[in-house]
Structure 1
Amino acid sequence: MSSPNPKYLQQEESLTLESKELISTLPRHNGWFDSTHLYLYRGFWYQPDHLQAVISCQNHFQPRHSDVFLATYPKCGTTWLKAIIFTILNRKHFPPASQNHPLLTTNPHQLVLSLEIDLYAANQLPTASASAASSSPSRRFFSTHMPHASLPLPDSQCKVVYACRNAKDTFVSLWHFMNKLRPQGAPEMDMETAFQMFCDGAVGYGPFWDHVLGYWRRSRKEPERVLFVRYEDMKEEAAVQVRRLAEFLECGFSAAEEEEGVVDRILDLTSFESMRGSEVNRVGRLGNGIENKHFFREGVVGDWKNCLSAQMAQKLDRIVEEKFAGTGLFI
């Protein structure tokens, strides 16, 4: 007897009647998985369960001025940045050199919950315990893939870190990841089909460029509230970027911490190799059924060169150049 599909494949089973009525009125597109669809809502494409969660979040979430958010388009370094920011915020309570640090026994996606997917999925409001799971002792820390225009943060002083990545590497990472989530025995989605969907913007939380530009423009208008971080910069000058993150979050490193090498300890703890090698990230599984190991593939800059043809790379470069023209953004 075959096992039931994990939760991430049961996209429409838990929808409310209201949500089902809504999506029946929206443009739709074939999704990554067989017999699933994406729906276009206010300029962005969503899985049906994610769309319901976004709307529920908008209706019910009550931000606090001290809240911290990590916003990303999928596969732009979310797991890594969750680990780094969690460690920065919690370093007094959980010193990065501690043998009992939560990252040694818990996947970053369990320490830092997704605002819409983890807390508002299936139209469920977050409980006090669920919210606490993503909190530092004094500040709540959430992640989100929502576009900036959809964030329920009106007139809030929350801090938002937005991490972006080169479009070609983003697509390749997304393609590998989504194929790992396909039902057992199902063939992979061919790269050409997936590539065209990405170029058309018809992928979850897409179009990619509109997602990036929303946060880029906000970061230019309100740099004290939105920090724009490039994945490539994090890889090239990690220590500089960690200090930049801490300063933005108003918890910069003291002279004593610098002398003790706290920044280097954070980088050691949260390195790709360290996290991929930990037992919890090799054998564990999230509550939705996704295996932790799927979040740690390569993590290198320029991996697209091993997958994309020259024609595909040129096409995506042309689209990005056209979409970002005149914005001052280069990724």
Structure 2
Amino acid sequence: MSSATPSQSSERCLESLKVANLSLILDRYMDTYNTFPKEKFYMNEDLYLYQGFWYRSGGLVLHGFISIGTVMAAQETFQANPYDIYLATLPKSGTTWLKALAFAIVNRTKYKTNSLSTHPLLISNPHDCLPFIEHEVLRTRPTYADLSDAHLFATHIPYPSLPKSIIDSGCRVVIYICRNPKGVLISWFHFINKLIEKSYGSLIIEEVFERFCKGMTPCGPYWDHVKSYYKASLEHPTRIMFLTYENMINDSENNVKRLAEFLGYPFTEEEKANGVLQEIVKLCSFENLSEVNKNGKTCGGVPKNAFFRQGKVGDWSNYLTDEMSNVIDQITLEKFNGFDITF
């Protein structure tokens, strides 16, 4: 399984993710997406509605290089390998944790003889250990160009909008993790306020809540994004695994075991006896990852510590009024009617 070493991650930061490439991509697709419905986002940026989902117009602030231009470019150019593994999430749903877990599981043999201090997850951010497919269009040499091995990729693109090559490849596995919409909302609220330019001032929860309920968040609406992968998991249960953040938190060891089996890297009896599973859970814990990522920025230019706040379930109750909570509950009840999606 191909993945980035710390030195390779640094090289990609400096050489492969080209801001100039982003400008070319945005220019290339601008005439097309400027015809799409749009709404104002934050910091005078626009959100564009494309194939039923909202995407940002830019790409350098708030969430790295992911924007409508890079999504459209990925659809056109990304080349999937049938042995690739894809991790899919809506932003602020557990992406960083899922990346860390998948990376640690599939690479545990590669790094098991090294001292702990050399493990990539102890010196690098999970986002720099495996790439987003939306970033591949920015590289001078895309990761997928190396056909000698399978790759781990992540994406925020909803299932119906995935590059055709991924769907047609019959890729071995897609892992999707979703999170209680209230948790996503509050995590997004704090993430924006941590990264927003000070000249624009802080956003208030009421403003973020209103936009969220209207579905106007990057890669949203939340409910449609979740349903797209849930339906796909029912149609392709052997290839697509549907997880919830809350269940992963509440029973980490059993879920990591299930995840390893689905990925095709099950823990052996010897590994179980030697505590390898527990070591991976600890390595990828919020406490460890947040300590490692106190300083610096990711390849996408986002402060590493912005991805770590609490890692707890239910913190939304400290920010949402009962009325707000009831509104989201009602929307969720209506949108998920007939689906066995619980938190």
Query: Is 1:107 the counterpart of 2:116 in the alignment?
Result: no
Counterpart position of 1:38 = 47
Structure-1 separation of matches of 2:283 and 2:262 = 21
Counterpart position of 2:339 = 327
SS in 1 for 2:267: coil
How many residues are paired up?
313
Alpha-carbon shift at residue 286 of structure 1 (Å): 1.6
Structure-2 separation of matches of 1:34 and 1:291 = 18
In the alignment, structure 2 segments of 5+ residues that lack a partner are 1-16, 59-66
Structure-2 separation of matches of 1:87 and 1:28 = 39
Counterpart position of 1:4 = none
Counterpart position of 1:60 = 77
Amino acid at match of 1:22: T
Structure-1 separation of matches of 2:300 and 2:144 = 18
SS in 2 for 1:93: helix
Q: Contact 2:25 / 2:73 at 8 angstroms: preserved in 1?
A: no
Q: Contact 2:30 / 2:69 at 8 angstroms: preserved in 1?
A: no
Q: Contact 1:269 / 1:275 at 8 angstroms: preserved in 2?
A: yes
SS in 2 for 1:162: strand
Which shifted more, 187-196 or 140-149? 187-196
Counterpart position of 1:156 = 169
Counterpart position of 1:304 = 316
Q: Contact 2:80 / 2:144 at 8 angstroms: preserved in 1?
A: no
- Identity across matched positions, percent: 38
Cα distance change on mapping 1:24 and 1:125 into 2, 3 Å = same
Counterpart position of 1:189 = 203
SS in 1 for 2:177: strand
Listed one character per residue, the Cα deviations across residues 209-233 of structure 1 (whole Å, up to 9, x for unaligned) are: 0000000011011111110011011
Structure-2 separation of matches of 1:327 and 1:161 = 18
SS in 1 for 2:133: coil
Alpha-carbon shift at residue 138 of structure 1 (Å): 4.2
Larger helix fraction of residues: 2
Cα distance change on mapping 1:87 and 1:267 into 2, 3 Å = same
Cα distance change on mapping 1:234 and 1:327 into 2, 3 Å = same
Q: Contact 1:60 / 1:125 at 8 angstroms: preserved in 2?
A: no
Listed one character per residue, the Cα deviations across residues 128-155 of structure 1 (whole Å, up to 9, x for unaligned) are: 5x4599x9x9430011000001112123
SS in 1 for 2:31: helix
Counterpart position of 2:13 = none
| TM-score normalised to structure 2 length | 0.86
Structure-2 separation of matches of 1:93 and 1:13 = 37
Counterpart position of 1:127 = 141
Counterpart position of 1:93 = 110
SS in 1 for 2:216: coil
Aligned to 1:140, which of 136, 141, 151?
151
Structure-2 separation of matches of 1:220 and 1:76 = 20
In the alignment, structure 1 segments of 5+ residues that lack a partner are 1-6
Listed one character per residue, the Cα deviations across residues 215-253 of structure 1 (whole Å, up to 9, x for unaligned) are: 001101111111001101110110111111111111111
| TM-score normalised to structure 1 length | 0.89
Amino acid at match of 1:316: I
Amino acid at match of 2:55: Y
Within 5 Å, give how 1:1-331 maps onto structure 2. Answer: 15-31=25-41, 33-49=42-58, 50-95=67-112, 98-99=115-116, 100-116=118-134, 118-120=135-137, 124=138, 127-128=141-142, 130-131=143-144, 138-152=149-163, 153-158=166-171, 159-278=173-292, 281-331=293-343
Structure-2 separation of matches of 1:242 and 1:327 = 24
Structure-2 separation of matches of 1:15 and 1:61 = 14
Counterpart position of 2:5 = none
Q: Contact 1:97 / 1:269 at 8 angstroms: preserved in 2?
A: no
